[in-house]
Amino acid sequence: MGKRTVQITGQAAGPRERALEVKADAEAQGFDACAIASVEGADPDNRLRRWLGLGYHADMDWMTRSAHIREDVREKVPGAKSVVVVARNYYGPRPDAEVGTGRVARYAWGRDYHRVLKKPLRRLAAQIDLLEEGARSYCSVDSGPVLERTWAERAGLAWIGKNSLALRRDMGSWFFLGTVITTVDLKPDTPEPDWCGTCRACIDACPTSAIVEDGVVDSRRCISYQTIENRGEVPEEVQAGHGDWVFGCDVCQEVCPWNRFAYQSSETDFLPRPGHANLDLTGLAAMDEPSFRKEFEGTPILRARFEGMQRNGRIVSRNQEQEG
pLDDT value at position 5?
A: 41
Q: Percentage of residues in the chain with pLDDT exceeding 70? A: 96
Other residues' Cβ atoms within 10 Å of the Cβ of residue 132: 18
pLDDT value at position 45?
A: 82
Query: Cα(104)–Cα(59) distance, rounded to whole angstroms?
Result: 23
pLDDT value at position 143?
A: 87
Query: Cα(190)–Cα(209) distance, rounded to whole angstroms?
Result: 33
pLDDT one-digit tens code per residue, 97-156: 999 999 999 999 999 999 999 999 999 999 999 999 999 999 999 989 999 999 999 999
Q: Above 80 in pLDDT, residue 10?
A: no
Q: Please provide the size of the chain in residues.
A: 324
Residue 264 CA, distance from chain mean position: 17
* pTM (2 d.p.): 0.93
Q: Which of 43, 59, 142, 214 is an active site residue?
A: 142
SS3 140: strand
Of 201, 209, 280, 281, the residue nearest 242 (C-alpha): 209
pLDDT one-digit tens code per residue, 47-66: 999 999 999 999 999 899 99
Largest alpha-carbon pair distance within the chain? 69
pLDDT one-digit tens code per residue, 255-270: 999 999 999 999 999 9
Query: Cα(225)–Cα(248) distance, rounded to whole angstroms?
Result: 7
Catalytic (active site) residue 142:
yes
What rounded mean pLDDT belongs to the chain?
94
pLDDT value at position 89?
A: 98
pLDDT value at position 12?
A: 55
Q: Above 70 in pLDDT, residue 235?
A: yes
